[in-house]
């Protein structure tokens, strides 16, 4: 049930995008023409890596911990996806307001203007085995893109890069090449889980913002998994029900290592082989998970 109306992919420069909400012409325009401003703060991730969590934290840093904004405006409106139909229009037309923007674009499709601007990117990397499991539940139960019929099928698609936004391995490799730039901060989902206070401090330092200890406590408290689960504005409520049913929550489990509850030994071995092959040459400390 539901699969009959599932969307497929649209393609842009060899990368599959969810047909629900995306258009190759707009992605191309975002790449070629979108002008980012020096004050922009862009959350960049491969989908299912903790995007919404980082946006919640950035929103709260912006309001110094006051939850009024996060409780009254949805994530999509607080930090629009620049490559989506709706977010592109918003980003082009915006005049003022909080400079938060989001993108899942691989580096080769990211707005060219970024590379000569002082705009800041925060990239979140997550254990790809958990990204795979999180993605399986998301793409299977929404109608935004091609739906996998089983975990094994999604597993194969993931290793081949035939999933929304293409190959995790290429996405991460591409963005890791920016890791020495002073306007790029790389965070990991696992570090964020282990020490969220430290993550907030790191972000503030990167953005040149100073929060009082009490304000930092409020950011921490209001961006916890539980707080986000209870805040309907942190979930996807502004996309038509036929694309994202209300039963699908961004706040699914919010843990590290859920892959261990799903992967067979054969899948673990196949995954690790692909990982070694595709990520060869990158410093192992970038991948700080079990
Ligand atoms: P799971 O599906 O493993 O639970 P994205 O925002 O990129 O789509 O990522 C979604 C993942 O981030 C989900 O993972 C979700 O539970 C997790 N997440 C969202 N908010 C979180 C929070 N405050 N703390 C920890 N994990 C969070």
Which residues carry out catalysis? Answer: 104
Question: pLDDT of 213-230, one tens digit each?
Answer: 999 999 999 999 999 999
Indicate whether this complex's ipTM tops 0.95.
yes
pLDDT at 6: 67
HSE-up of residue 201 (Cα within 13 Å, Cβ side): 9
Each residue's pLDDT tens digit, 153-209? 999 999 999 999 999 999 999 999 999 999 999 999 999 999 999 999 999 999 999
State the DSSP string of 49-72.
SSHHHHHHHHHHHHTTT--HHHHH
Instruction: Let me know: does 99 contact 35? Beta carbons within 8 Å.
Output: no
Residue 4 confidence (pLDDT) above 50: no
pLDDT value of residue 20? 84
Give the integer Cα–Cα distance in Å for 10 and 145: 9
Residue with CA closest to ligand 1 atom 14:
254
- What whole-number distance in Å separates Cα of residue 49 and Cα of residue 127? 8
Q: Which residues pair with 124 in a beta bridge?
A: 45, 187
Give the Cα separation of 88 and 81 in Å (integer). Answer: 7
Best mutation site among 103, 163, 250, 262 for ligand 1, i.e. most ligand atoms within 8 A of its Cβ?
250
Tokens of 257: 């290592």
Distance of CA 144 to the CA centre of its chain: 16
Instruction: Give how far Cα 35 sits from Cα of 46, 85, 113, 141, 168, Å.
Output: 22, 16, 6, 35, 26
16 lines ligand 1 (CB under 6 A): no
> What phi and psi, each to the nearest 5 degrees, are found at residue 57?
-65, -45
| 194, two tokens | 């282990």
Pairing of strands 184-188, 9-12: unpaired
| Segment 60-116, tens digit of pLDDT | 999 999 999 999 999 999 999 999 988 999 998 888 877 999 999 999 999 999 999
pLDDT in tens, 223-281: 999 999 999 999 888 888 989 998 999 999 999 999 999 999 999 999 999 999 999 99
């Amino acid at each position: 049930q539901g699969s009959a109306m599932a969307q497929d992919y649209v393609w842009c420069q060899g990368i599959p995008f969810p047909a629900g909400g995306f258009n190759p012409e707009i992605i191309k325009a975002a790449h070629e023409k979108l002008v980012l401003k020096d004050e922009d703060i862009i959350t960049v991730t491969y989908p299912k890596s903790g995007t919404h969590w980082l946006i919640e934290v950035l929103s709260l840093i912006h309001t110094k911990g006051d939850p009024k904004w996060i409780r009254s405006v949805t994530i999509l409106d607080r930090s629009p996806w620049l490559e989506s139909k709706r977010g592109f229009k918003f980003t082009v037309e915006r005049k003022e307001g909080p400079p938060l923007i989001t993108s899942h674009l691989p580096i080769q499709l990211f707005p060219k203007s970024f590379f000569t601007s002082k705009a800041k990117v925060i990239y979140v990397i997550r254990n790809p085995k958990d990204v795979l499991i999180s993605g399986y539940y998301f793409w299977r139960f929404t109608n935004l893109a091609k739906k996998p019929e089983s975990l094994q099928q999604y597993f194969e698609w993931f290793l081949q890069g035939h999933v929304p936004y293409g190959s995790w391995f290429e996405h991460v490799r591409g963005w890791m090449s920016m890791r020495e730039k002073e306007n790029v901060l790389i965070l990991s989902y696992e570090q964020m889980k282990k020490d969220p206070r430290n993550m907030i401090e790191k972000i503030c330092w990167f953005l040149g913002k100073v929060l009082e200890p009490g304000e930092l406590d409020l950011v921490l408290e209001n961006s916890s998994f539980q707080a986000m689960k209870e805040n309907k504005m942190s979930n996807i409520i502004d996309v038509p029900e036929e694309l994202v049913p209300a039963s699908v929550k961004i706040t699914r489990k919010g843990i590290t290592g859920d892959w261990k509850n799903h992967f067979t030994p054969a899948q673990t071995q196949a995954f690790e082989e692909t990982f070694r092959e595709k990520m060869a040459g990158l410093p192992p400390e970038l991948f700080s998970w079990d």
